[in-house]
Amino acid sequence: MRRHTYYKALLACSRGLSRREHQRLGRHVKQCGECQELARSYATMTHALRHQRYDTPSRTVQADVLTAAFRWRVRHNRRQHRGRQVSLGGGVAVLVLAVASVSPLRGLAADTVDASVQAWFQRHHAAMSLPHDYERSTWGGAGGAPYEVNMHVGAGTGSLWWDDLERSPGPNNSLQLTNVGPSIPHLVIRMDSFGSWTPVGARAHWSLDGARHNAVVRSLPANTVPGSALGERTLGPDNAYLWDFGPLPSGGVEVVTVTLHPTDACCWSLGVLAYANLDRAGRPDPAAAIQGGQAENSGGGGPLNK
Amino acid sequence: MTEAEGALGEVGNVGSPDRAQEDLLRLMARYETPLSAYLSLLLRQAELTQDCLQETFLRAYQQLYRGRAVNVRWLYTVARNCAIDELRHRSRVQYDFDPPDSVAAGGGESPHLLVALLSQLTAADRELLYLVDVDDLDAATIGRMLGIRPGAVRARVFRAREKFRLMYGSLEGDR
């Protein structure tokens, strides 16, 4: 016959008991008034502990974790893929995203983007794992360290296109996108930037080269954002810029070049997302998300080069 | 909860970041609140709780991304170790915790009395009662977290309950 303390211990922590233990305990409790009283006491204790109020998590935990996970994945992939060469269907995918400043500039095409699209992005912001915390401040220096990002549109809608992220010296950075899959109906780029800077001014120039156009350059006029429009800002819908570049056929190469002149001091980070299709309402289709990338500027400083 | 109930992730699910993120979001939806409460009991500081919570789920994502399974025991163990590291980092040789100020009683009991009763228990006893009664973990899971056998867990929980029962019983007897 088992000792009484054995059954008391089972009563104290009865979760996860085996079927045999449950049966033994049940038979014992039926016959033992002391253990019946004990069970009632433990139930009261459990009720009291469970109905206390405990601290709840912050509302930003999920976004913080997703951002940290995204950054870890970037570093992890970089370590895995460093030095790997990429060739695509007879073409070389080389898009260099040129971001030299932190100023969020509005592309001309964004003026044609429906307000509902912006609202949609606002709602899905947290799920997009966009960066919302800058890492370093940049003071001094004559210009930013150019940043090179290689991205490839994967096979089919919604496939992973992130390839590599590394820094390399050079006068400009640009985002080059090569479609290694079937044609996609819409290449929609969303860029989010954030950071803080001295409101001096900034200038951006966007150009788009398409291989399917036999290297004909389609350039957008430079955009100038006056100093009064700059200032410290955090990531938000006002900082998101959307461009619908239209269809991107298989093997097509798109290059987006952004040249921004750093202001006095700035630190920034830029998130890039691409979508391969629009939904019926004409908004970027979340099911058609290609992938996002990230670029950071570690340079900066110096007066605006107007 | 048993380990089987809380299992997420599949072995061999390697190199699929989209699936890892889905699993991560499901993990967070299910365990974010209970882990936050558990960490707040251990750490008593909101900022540290947030840091450890974020670190726990980031490590979970890394596990999932590498195709390794994540279950409830793994989560609680990582969270507990993170909390202990934080407390040791802050020059506490032996971790201890008191119920946070926000702890309040339900069912009509005075919050201050329950807090006072809990504070009279040792830190290890408070943690055990919390894991068993609030987070509903079984002896096997807790045993793996603490590195002891399930039978030893039950014995410790029994002793902790007896101490609390005597204090709580005298509280009810006074009414």
What are the strands, taking DSSP E only, across A70-219?
A: 138-139, 147-153, 162-167, 174-179, 188-197, 201-204, 206-210, 216-219
Higher pLDDT, A301 or A35: A35
Q: Which residues of A132-149 are buried (b: 16+ CB within 10 A; e: fewer)?
A: bebeeebeeeebbbbbbb
Number of H helices, E strands in chain A: 5, 13
Residue of B nearest to A289 (CA): B18
CB A228: neighbour CB atoms within 10 A? 8
Portion 109-148 of B in contact with A at CB < 8 A? 109, 111, 114, 129-130, 132-134, 136-141
B 35-54: CB under 8 A from A: 36-37, 40-41, 46, 49-50, 53-54
DSSP secondary structure string for all residues of B120-169: HS-HHHHHHHIIIIIS---HHHHHHHHTS-HHHHHHHHHHHHHHHHHHHH
Q: Which of A16, A49, A50 is the closest to B140 by Cβ?
A: A16
Residues A153-207 pLDDT 10s: 332 222 222 222 222 222 334 455 556 556 666 666 555 443 333 322 222 233 3
Check whether B158 has a pLDDT greater than 80: yes
On chain B, the residues whose CB falls within 8 A of the CB of A56 are: 33, 36-37
Angstroms from A190 CA to nearest CA on chain B:
19
Predicted local distance difference test score (pLDDT) of residue A144: 35
Q: Would you call A9 and B157 a contact, using CB atoms and an 8 Å cutoff?
A: yes
- A82 near A173, Cβ under 8 Å? no
Average pLDDT over residues B135-140: 87
Asked if the Cβ–Cβ distance from A55 to B2 is below 8 Å, we say: no
Model pLDDT for residues B71-130, shown as the tens digit of each residue: 888 899 899 888 888 877 765 544 444 444 444 434 444 556 666 777 777 778 888 888
Better-predicted residue by pLDDT, A58 or A65: A65
Q: What are the Cα distances from residue A277, in Å, to A37, A109, A150, A246, A284?
A: 66, 17, 21, 9, 6
DSSP string, B106-123: -TT--HHHHHHHHHHS-H
Q: Which of B73, B94, B98 is nearest to B84 (CA)?
A: B94
What is the Cα–Cα distance from B126 to B48, expressed in whole angstroms?
A: 19
d(CA A188, CA A173): 20
SS3 A168: coil
pLDDT for A207: 35
Chain B residue at shortest CA distance from A45: B165
A54–B40: do the CB atoms touch at under 8 Å?
A: yes
Four-point Cα dihedral A116, A118, A122, A126, nearest 10: 120
Position A14 pLDDT exceeds 50: yes
Residue B57 pLDDT: 93
Distance CA A178, CA A161 (A): 9
Could you give the CA distance from residue A288 to residue A126 in angstroms, rounded to a whole number? 17
User: pLDDT for A130-146, tens place per residue?
Assistant: 332 222 222 122 233 33
Residue A96 and residue A234: Cα distance in Å, rounded? 25
How far is Cα A177 from Cα A163, in angstroms, rounded to an integer?
11
Find, among A182, A178, A231, the residue nearest to A202 by Cα. A231
Give the separation between CA A71 and CA B114, rounded to whole angstroms.
43
What are the structure tokens assigned to A68, written together? 């940290």
Mean pLDDT over B146-169 rounds to 85
To probe the interface with B, which of A46, A55, A76, A162 has the most B CB atoms within 10 Å? A55
| A214-263 pLDDT, tens digit each | 222 222 223 333 333 333 333 333 444 555 556 666 666 555 544 444 33
C-beta of residue B141 within 8 angstroms of C-beta of residue B73:
yes
Q: Is residue B140's pLDDT more than 70? A: yes
Rounded to an integer, the average pLDDT of A100-121 is 33
At A28-63, the pLDDT tens digits run 889 999 889 888 888 887 877 777 767 677 777 887
Q: Judge contact between A166 and A78, C-beta under 8 A.
A: yes
- B 78-97 residues with CB below 8 A of A? none
Strand partners, A253: A178
Assess B170–A contact: CB distance below 8 Å, yes or no.
Answer: no
Is A43 touching B (CB cutoff 8 A)? no
* A9 sits in which H/E element: helix A4-12
Lowest mean pLDDT among A91-100, B7-16, B22-31: A91-100
**What pLDDT is stored for residue A245 in this prediction?**
59
Q: How much is the CA Rg of chain B, to the nearest whole Å? A: 18
Q: What residue of A is the nearest CA neighbor of B60? A: A69
Q: Where are the alpha helices (DSSP H) in A144-227?
A: none
Give yes or no for a contact between A176 and A95, defined as CB atoms under 8 angstroms apart.
yes
Largest CA distance in chain B: 61
CB A121 within 8 A of CB A240: yes
Q: What contacts A215, CB < 8 A, 6 or more positions away?
A: A209
Pairing of strands A174-179, A147-153: parallel
Q: Which amino acid is at A253?
A: V
- Report the C-alpha dihedral over residues A237, A240, A245, A249, rounded to 10 degrees: -90
Q: Which residue of B has its CA nearest to A162?
A: B17
The chain-wide mean pLDDT, for chain A, equals: 49
B116, B95 contact by CB (below 8 A): no
Does the beta-carbon distance from A61 to B129 stay under 8 Å?
no
Q: Cβ of A12 and B130 within 8 Å?
A: no
Find the range with the poorest average confidence among A89-103, B114-128, B151-165. Answer: A89-103
Contact A151, A273 (CB under 8 A): no
B36's enclosing H/E stretch is helix B17-43
pLDDT exceeding 70 applies to what percent of chain B?
A: 70
What number is the ipTM of this complex?
0.72
Model pTM above 0.80: no
